[in-house]
Structure 1
Amino acid sequence: MEKLRTLVKSLLPGIFLFGFTVGTGSVTAMAKAGADYGMSLLWTIFISCSITYFLINLFGKYTLLTGQTALQSFRNHIHPAVGMFFIVTLTTQVCGSVIGVMGIIADVSHEWSKTYIDGGISPLYFALFFITFVYVIFLIGRTEVFEKVLAIFVAIMALCFLINFIILMPPAIEILNGMIPNVPDTGPGKNSFLIIASMVGTTVFSGLFILRTTLVREAGWTMADLKAQNRDALFSAFLMFIVSASIMAAAAGSLYVKGVTLENVTQMINLLEPMAGAAAVTIFTVGLIAAGISSQFPNVALLPWLLDDYYQRKPNLKAPSYRLIALAISSLGLIVPIFNAKPIAVMVLSQAFGALVLPATVASIFYIGNKASLMKEHKFSRLTNISLVLIFLFSLIMSYMSYTGIVATLKAL
């Protein structure tokens, strides 16, 4: 029992990263991809998770070697403006994510409540409840509490989506064909460039790698913990692939087979019930709520973490200014319920925006990892540099897709 407890504790940082990445944004992006294109974009998930594993591992190892976090290194060894660039862009993406996440959770909860209450409970009440719940946890102000609460919600989320995958699993040949890279045609109401960019943006999230270095340093890991660090990174990336693929498969097995484009997450609920029964609807709803809450915890805390990291201060989430920042960011979750906005569009655009930041992240770690005065004999190897160059080129393609998709979507509004 003691060994199991130690193992679970060692995996908590990986669970934290998984909960941060695979939230409602991922659910939306993967479900949208599955609904519009079946399993044909599964290759995107595989490549994204492989890149995520490589970068999580690389950023973590960098901190083990130097004792410095990524943001501190960007500021001290490149330029302070580079560090501030990441703070601004990542906060912008997180704010968009908070708006979309809470809007989707509130809408789905409202639709689900109609099963038990005539007319259902207002989305605004659900949004207020979940915002309050997350903010109260934030007020406790301790990372270890975040990790433990996240672990619970991540376990619930993973179990729910895996059960739905088993219920709605597409034919095995479709899953295998989805591993062959291709870009589906863009039809009416569909934008494959934007969908692919949003899938990459939500999985290969720059904030994930930068925050990873903070978690590694807070955990007190050294080069003696390199194996644990590698295992933790692999565990996180593996969970991302399994759960993301399960979400895509559930949408492919319900919406895609009916030729329905996903415009509203409540469509998943309405279509799941006749195909898989009320139990599947409840399982999907609980999984979606768990996904949303698991991503909201780090979302509201990201800016305070980044600011303390940038100014090389000891993390203190209990600071009054940070509590006000967290409250302001949390309150963005009321925008969709109050103004009746479209959370799917907000969510996809927010995730696609992340693909625009990725090239700068890869270029920055490439620069500091090859800085002789900093890394000395631990400079990145030729193989690592080749891998980073390939990832950088991939990220440029994703940025182009993201820009093209965002512009096309905005023009259509």
Structure 2
Amino acid sequence: MQTIDINRVIDRDKLSPLQWLVFLLGFLVFFCDGLDTGIIGFVAPSLLDDWGITKPQLAPVLSAALVGMSIGAIVSGPLADKFGRKKVIVTTTLIFAIFTVLCGFATSTQDLTIYRFITGIGLGAAMPNISTIVSEYMPNKRKAFLTGLAGCGFMLGISCGGVLSAFLLENLGWAKVIIIGGVIPVLLAVILMLKLPESTQYLVKKNQHQQARYILEKIQGQAFSENVQFKLATTENNLSDESPVKQVLGKYLWGSSMLWLCCFMSLLVFYLLTSWMPTILKTAGFTTQQFSLIAAIFPFGGVIGATVMGYYMDRTNPTNVIKYSYFIAFLLFILTGFVSSNILLFGISIFMIGALLAGAQSSLLPLSAMFYPSTCRAVGVSWMHGIGRVGAILGAFFGSLIFTFELSLSGIFYVLAIPTLISFIALSLKVMVEKSKSKQQIKSQELA
């Protein structure tokens, strides 16, 4: 009987139609995730005016989804390893789609907070798992680039939410804009149910070889011989008896901890800006169209940044690429504080920060997917995302406190430079320890 490593089938020079389909579906899930995540921030100024509520009263609404995202991400990893990536992705996409539509029918902040919380559970669960399944279908030499490129859908989704708000908000009102944002992923969930294949790594791990064979034959474009057995990579087989949680908290604990800290600080800044930037800019005197478009520039910059970072992550140390992006973003936050009075320079700075900070944040998903083996990848990626979402929750709450502290526009950007620097330090420590372990292994091999 012939034994085949499934990664050898997937690791092709040219992507098969099925691999392109997984990439496209992954991009669309990220897009809808970003659209429904960010749209509440864009409609917030209109919502404040329509309901006559204060900014602190709106804070629970903005942070509710983030709490749900943290719970959804942490819980979904073990569920995906038990029931499969596809089932979790389809179910959670449908959850965040339906409850986004319901947000448009909310009549009080209490109703809206509940709907956004449940929406967040779906959003938080869908993103890390779609990132995991996309990375598992991409060839090694282009894994970071293509997984990161699919992840750009998230930033593009947020940007489209800003453009949608800029041109439809005043004519249709905030409720209809939100409903439009929810209808799109409802249709996507049906397509995912019909077209998204399950992870072959998961199928082999669960001894579902016939389903894995069918998918792998579609990838390579021809049938296997009658007697063929599939296996995971040797290094992953060695870990197959350990639970995914034990692997993440054991062998991969240090790297996981640094990824958690980095993601925590990065999402704190990212969600403060995406949730509150329209309101902050409106308070600073910007018009509805100005604050919607400038706020949309920030995540759109992340699309460009993540694409460039993904290209270089496949060609050099991927952690170094992201850590230096955070450091340059730290410098740009300080610079933006000095040019905040000039709308042109301010817009350019926001775009550059988006390219570096949002791009680096998006690239953390493929980085973590590359860091963990398939035997614990769903848990590792989901937990990084879930713990990072706690930072997002704090970012949303801190955004409401900005108005209490009466910080200037410049002061806000000076403060945001601090957690960005901490993200850089966390990844620097991760690289240092990995280099030290690598040197020790080389010395051990030489002595042996």
TM-score (norm: length of structure 1):
0.31
Larger Rg, first or second structure (1 or 2): 2
TM-score (norm: length of structure 2):
0.29
